[in-house]
Structure 1
Amino acid sequence: MRHLNGPLLTVDVGDRTAERTEIDGVLEAFIGGRGVATKLAAERIPTDVDPFDPENRIYFTTGPMQASQMSFTGRMNATSVSPLTGGLLSSNAGGFLSRNFTATGVAAVEIVGASDEPIAIHVRDDGVEFEEVTALEGAEVSEVVEWAENEHDLGSEHTLCIGPAGENLVRFACVMTSESRAFGRGGLGAVLGSKNVKVVTFDGSASPSVEIPPEAMEIHRDAASSDHVMKRQGTASVVDLGNEVEAFPTRYFSERSFEGASKINGDVVESKKYKRGTCSACAFACKLPTRDEETGLETEGPEYETLMAFGGNCAIDDIVDIMRFNERCDQYGMDTISCGDTVAAYLASEDAFGDAELVDELVENIAHREGIGDTLAEGVARCHEELGVENWSVKGMEFPAHDGRALNGQGLSFATANRGADHMYATFYAYEYPFVPREEAFDPKGVTSEKAEKLVELENTRALEDCGVVCRFSRGQMTPERFSALLDAEWEELLEVGDRVVELERAFNNQRGFNRGADEDLPYELEGFEEGLDRYYEVRGWTEDGVVPGSDVGASGD
């Protein structure tokens, strides 16, 4: 099986030491990316660790496909115990960092400990340097990127960093890379903040020793020649469909379609797009550099989930307002989904939907933990009772769009995902809109045994992609046959790798008290939900409580 090569680099920011360890066995078994990071985390992070404790570790990894110039491979993985969910969680980001990371010659970077002062970590192919960066305390993402360029001649494609939200331990703070790309969900930026790590840079000239088969260039050519709406509108192209089928959460989930959707849809976002945007080596180019000529505001996006969270869910129908919230979140380093949903929860408590000035103020207050922002920075699961609103989260993670009340298989997926209410963990919504051929699609209504079985397959496939590391939007190009050729293994063998990754995550989280009930409940009822959950556990080979046999399970994690 083709896999990533290189050692694990352990960086202890408390002791200011760096050590390389060979991990060939882990690489051979888990390929790269999320799989390798999950295996290392499960072995090296104490299962009772607090996410903000120095003993928590955060991993950054690439996969074998970052040794290629194939489209859909400009991505990286990050893994840690999440401050938002309390479970082991992986997030990935696009942009231009992955190949500079690979050029350092390491397969994985592990950061542990905590620094007394804000620091920068410089990872190079010839070693690691630490630099105190007190002057960057409180700096926004663009300021950190400018510092790296001015002081070290390293552009944004060499950096990952946090903004003020990460420093202030906002539980949905992001790690940012390439200035505007985010390791978005789960609050991993706050993990770096707890360690006082402001920025990490990567640079080198090591050549990856992974032979890439010719199928990679076939996929690249197909990506370049395909005529897809996402090349023009990104994920914003989904707004009209999501709204039409009542899968577009509105006014803090009290409604499922937004009367202002036509003012913030893909056509409107496309009208603000001023140049092509992409990730490293990718010819698909689905990113959205946008500009409002009247105000001069520039950002990247907003994508579909941001349009839902700050648009429909906050009842904001001005695209420039949403662009501004998007840009603020990028600069402060915050997940737009969790931030927008949490702001929407506050608007619901104050009967203030549609108040763009208040939303703007709240985003800033959350990032700096000022006033009510200090409460909202904890996320919906921790603040909903104080606000007097429903808890729209699973495992502590706020909901994206693709509403499970309309797309019931996606609803089941929100419940089972080890990351919590996350649409990318299985992408079941694609089979219910559908975005796949009709013969592969499911009726969106009801939770059936067939959906539960398909969900297991999809979760395993997505985990495999994250080992690769390959973008979700490669769905039309990355067939099982091409995966087998690229990774030099039979499709079933590859799916077994994905299965092991999902089970490792689940077993770790079981030991932290996660199980059925409060951890896999939804804030709405679905026909056949409990039966579907039973079947899902049965196919996985877990207990009826959602526990991996042999896990040492503690108290319920509600």
Structure 2
Amino acid sequence: MLHVEGPLLTVDVGAHETVETSVDDVLETFIGGRGVATRLAHDRIPFDADPFGAENSVFFSTGPMQTSNMSFTGRMNCTSLSPLTGGLLSSNAGGFMSRNFADTGYSVVEFTGTSDELVVVHVTDEGVEFEPVPDLDGATVPETTTYIEDTHGLSAEHVACIGPAGENRVRFASIMTTESRAFGRGGLGAVLGAKNVKAVTFAGDSRPQVEIPPIQMDVHRDAATSDHIMKEQGTTSVTDLANEVGALPTRYFSELQFEGVNGINGDRVGEKKYKRGTCSACAFACKLPTRDEERGVETEGPEYETVMSFGSNCAVDDIVDVMQSNELCDRYGMDTITCGNVVAAYLASEDEFGNTALIHETVEKIAKREDEGDLLAEGIDRFHEDLGVDNWTVKGLDFAAHDGRTLNGQGLSYAVANRGADHMFTTMYAWEYPLVAQEEALNPTGLEGKAPHVVKQENARALEDCGIVCRFSRSFMTPERFEGLFDADYDELLAVGSTVVELERHFNNQRGFDRTDDTLPYDLPDFEAALDDYYAQRDWNEDGTVPNEHVSDDPATAD
């Protein structure tokens, strides 16, 4: 089976010490990316760790496809204990850093401990440097990357950094790379902030030699020649469809359609796009560099999720206002989905939907933890009672933009996903809108027979995150191509994904998560029966826990 090559580098940012460890057995079993990081995190982070404590680790990892020239591979993984959900969480970011990371020669880099002073950690194939940077205290993401480029000659493509939100431990702070790409969901930027790490850079000339089969060029050619609407509108191409079928959350999830959708849809985003945008080695080029010269707003995006969170969910019908919210989140280093939903909750409590000046002011207050921003920075699950609003979260993570009240299989996926109400854990919405061929489509209404599909798609998405291959390769990366690229039967590859999902669940079980956390703030028909079916499909206990004997090398059963 194809897998990433290279040792694990552990960086203790408190002791300023590093250790290299061979993890070949883990690489051979888990391929790379999310799989390898999850196995290591499961075994190396104490089950009772504080997400903000020195004992928590942050794992950056790449996969074998980051040594290729194939489209859909300009991505990498980050795994840690989330301060937002309290569970193990992996986040995936695109851009251009993954190949610079691969050039260090490491398959995984782990950051542990807590620094006594604010530092930038420079990781190369020749060693690790710890640079005190007191002058970067409070610096924005662009200010941080500019400093690193001016001082070290390393562009933003080499940098993973946090903004003020991460330093202030905003529980949904992002780790940013290439300035506008984010390890977004779950607050991993706040974990780096708690470690007093302002930025990490990756550089070298030791990329492992992994032999990728020639089929990679078939995928690359198809991506280049495809006439796909995402090349013009990115994920916002689904906005009108979501609104039409009643799956577009509006006014803090109180409605499912937005009367102002024409002001924030894919056509409006397309009009503001001023050049092609892409990730490393990718010919699909679905990113969205946008600009409004009249108001002096320039950003990358917004993507569909941000159009929902800062658009319809805040009752904002001007795409430039959404662009400005997007740019503020990138500058301060915050997840646009959670930040937008948090702001929407605040607007609901204040009866101020559509107040764009208040929205932008509130984003800045959250990043700086000023005034009401200090409470909002805790996330909806922790503040909803204080504001008197409904708790639109699962496991502490707020909802993405494909509403499960209409797309019921996606609703089930939100409930059972290890990282909470995240749409990318299964992308079930694609089969229920549908965005796939009609013969593959599922009736969006009801849950009968949906549990096996949720399981299969969880496993497939985890496999992609091990590879690492972008979600938007769906039309190009067939099971046959996976088999050809990874030199394994597709069922064997899906089994790797299944094990990753199970390890995440087992870790979270040790922290107290069980069936009572697999829930929704709304009713779906036959939901409890679907949960039973889901657990049965995975051969888990009826209470939503993983039997210890399922987890090999489990520290809890080692004796």
Shorter-chain TM-score bucket reads: over 0.9
Distance 2:313 2:296 in 1: 26
Distance 1:375 1:277 in 2: 36
Distance 2:498 2:302 in 1: 33
The code of the aligned residue for 1:99 comes to R
SS at match of 1:424: helix
SS at match of 2:425: coil
Distance 2:209 2:283 in 1: 24
Distance 2:238 2:441 in 1: 17
Deviation string for 1:338-369 (max 9, x for gaps)?
00001111111111101101101110000000
Distance 1:443 1:491 in 2: 26
Distance 2:44 2:372 in 1: 37
SS at match of 2:365: helix
Distance 1:319 1:34 in 2: 34
The code of the aligned residue for 1:265 comes to N
Tell whether 2:179 aligns with 1:179: yes
Match of 2:296 in 1: 296
How big is the shift at 1:455?
Answer: 0.5
Match of 2:496 in 1: 497
Deviation string for 1:177-202 (max 9, x for gaps)?
01100001000000000000001001
Match of 1:546 in 2: 544
Match of 2:461 in 1: 462
Tell whether 2:518 aligns with 1:520: yes
The code of the aligned residue for 1:4 comes to V
Distance 1:549 1:344 in 2: 39
Please tell me the root mean square deviation across aligned C-alpha atoms, in Å: 1.0
Distance 1:141 1:546 in 2: 40
Q: 2:534 aligns with which of 516, 533, 536?
A: 536
Match of 1:49 in 2: 49
How big is the shift at 1:376?
Answer: 0.3
The code of the aligned residue for 2:526 comes to G
* Pairing of 1:81-480 with structure 2 (within 5 A): 81-448=81-448, 450-480=449-479
SS at match of 1:144: helix
The code of the aligned residue for 1:540 comes to R
Distance 2:502 2:137 in 1: 39
Moved over 6 A (4+): none
Match of 2:557 in 1: none
SS at match of 1:9: strand
The code of the aligned residue for 1:452 comes to A
SS at match of 2:423: coil
How big is the shift at 1:297?
Answer: 1.1
Deviation string for 1:369-392 (max 9, x for gaps)?
000000000000000000001000
Distance 1:110 1:534 in 2: 37
How big is the shift at 1:520?
Answer: 1.1
Deviation string for 1:187-237 (max 9, x for gaps)?
000000000000100110113221010010100000000000000000011
Distance 2:519 2:296 in 1: 44
Distance 1:488 1:84 in 2: 38
Q: Percent identity?
A: 67
How big is the shift at 1:521?
Answer: 1.0
Distance 2:270 2:29 in 1: 43
Match of 2:556 in 1: none
How big is the shift at 1:550?
Answer: 2.1
SS at match of 1:70: coil
How big is the shift at 1:423?
Answer: 0.1
Match of 1:556 in 2: none
Deviation string for 1:244-301 (max 9, x for gaps)?
0110000000000100001100000000000000000000000000000202211000
The code of the aligned residue for 2:532 comes to D
Q: How many corresponding residue pairs? A: 551
| TM superposition score normalised by structure 1 | 0.98
Deviation string for 1:396-453 (max 9, x for gaps)?
00101110000000000000100100000000000000011111111000011x2100
How big is the shift at 1:319?
Answer: 1.0
Distance 1:39 1:149 in 2: 34
Distance 1:470 1:343 in 2: 32
Distance 1:104 1:243 in 2: 45
How big is the shift at 1:19?
Answer: 1.1
Distance 2:420 2:117 in 1: 33
Deviation string for 1:120-177 (max 9, x for gaps)?
0000111101000011110000011101110000001100000000000000000000
Distance 2:243 2:324 in 1: 22
SS at match of 2:129: strand
Distance 2:470 2:334 in 1: 21
How big is the shift at 1:529?
Answer: 1.1
Distance 2:177 2:83 in 1: 20
Match of 1:555 in 2: none
SS at match of 1:79: strand
